[in-house]
Structure 1
């Protein structure tokens, strides 16, 4: 007879969530390297390498969670937040040193804050954790590529600007997409959940 009892959720303190913490902790390191890089490109290359490593951990923590430790609700919430901190922190660092326009950072920050608040409300009121969408993944990849292009010392300025504009466009579009998906989830949920009562 198959086991129909639900499996307990893994403990939140595990390797995948450790990678998530690390991703967030590397943001001030990138900022420090960019601010200190006044002569030559040595520290700039370090900033690029650390950013690539941090972005790579986003794939590693998900793979480890699905294959070995199990996915936790805490991890599903913390993982996208750590991604946002990494991207926004790197973009703000580049804007701070004058290499990237603040308007682009502002658009991305507003979108990410709105989506995060929407996710939190879905969890609190209806117990729903909305998984990442296809457009959300495209958005993340475009942002990582754009930041990487700005951190790479020899990338032409016109290419950097093009990649940044693509990232901002996908950021806005993916925000619209997730708002529509959240609306559909809320409509499909039983009415008892809409007032926060499961």
Structure 2
């Protein structure tokens, strides 16, 4: 029987993230071991064995991961061909290698965490990755293409940069909507959605700052906005020895939306050769206010608020 999402104040239609008893047990063992090297080794060994067991015992989920991995490699190859025709052999080789390396890192991490593909409504492990999770993963991968887009933008070619931002914006808008519409919210999605946002938008802001499109202080603020809850969340788990609930808050959503709007508008303004100095300061103020609201919410309500 499917349970409807648990609703609470400010969290309408967002299912509660139940505790992960396996991880909680590992955290307690880690604490009892005094966080020694031996305790950490046992922690990672148990995590590795558990990940391998889930990967090997769930044929359909493993096949879904494999198909997604292969499609990603094919997409990278096609993109590399386009780069070859536009920017030359050297750029294409470097583009292909860096993209393939980052995709490999993400797919390896995904394989290790297939056990998090638990539907939050049914409590059962899904038989496939699901489109919401695929889109979230694509957004994280797009970070490496933002770096390349910024590189080409510095040479006067802005279309790739705007295209990557468009792709990321699409995945950011659609993944959550699909998860809610199809009742396909997973533990992995709840944990990794803000993490992938942090990777993409931090890299995007830094890349745009490097080529002079955004101010450096804004890139630092964006990076801090996402790094603070991630680092704090890890520390929280180690100290409190329980897994995170991860609550999306209005301030957190507003902060992410303002950051997305600012970096996309900056790239688009450069592409269309429109002065960004007119609306830029207004967007910077909005980013600052919403980031402050997100920080205050975390300080008042806990590190689990994103």
TM bucket normalised to smaller: 0.7 to 0.9
Mapping 1:24-63, distance limit 5 Å: 24-38=140-154, 40=156, 43-63=157-177
Q: What is the number of residues matched between the two proteins?
A: 181
Q: Is the 1:12–1:75 contact (alpha carbons within 8 Å) kept by the matching residues of 2?
A: no
Q: Is the 2:130–2:184 contact (alpha carbons within 8 Å) kept by the matching residues of 1?
A: no
Q: Is the 2:149–2:164 contact (alpha carbons within 8 Å) kept by the matching residues of 1?
A: no
Unmatched 5+ residue regions in structure 1? Answer: 186-198
TM-score normalised by structure 1 residue count: 0.78
Distance (Å, rounded) in 2 between the aligned partners of 1:92 and 1:115 = 19
Q: Is the 1:123–1:129 contact (alpha carbons within 8 Å) kept by the matching residues of 2?
A: no
**Cα distance change on mapping 1:98 and 1:44 into 2, 3 Å:** same
1:166 aligns with 2:286: yes
What is the CA distance between 1:36 and its match in structure 2? 1.6
Higher relative contact order (CA 8 A, sep 6+): 1
Deviates more, 1:80-89 or 1:31-40: 31-40
Q: Is the 2:237–2:244 contact (alpha carbons within 8 Å) kept by the matching residues of 1?
A: yes
1:114 aligns with 2:234: no
Distance (Å, rounded) in 2 between the aligned partners of 1:38 and 1:105 = 17
Distance (Å, rounded) in 2 between the aligned partners of 1:184 and 1:160 = 31
Distance (Å, rounded) in 2 between the aligned partners of 1:128 and 1:28 = 28
Deviates more, 1:44-53 or 1:140-149: 44-53
1:178 aligns with 2:293: no
Q: Secondary structure at the match of 1:26?
A: helix
Distance (Å, rounded) in 1 between the aligned partners of 2:265 and 2:214 = 11
What is the CA distance between 1:16 and its match in structure 2? 1.4
What is the CA distance between 1:184 and its match in structure 2? 9.9
What is the CA distance between 1:161 and its match in structure 2? 2.6
Name 2:277's counterpart in structure 1.
157
What is the CA distance between 1:39 and its match in structure 2? 5.3
Q: Secondary structure at the match of 1:139?
A: helix
Larger Rg: 2
What is the CA distance between 1:102 and its match in structure 2? 1.6
**Cα distance change on mapping 1:59 and 1:170 into 2, 3 Å:** same
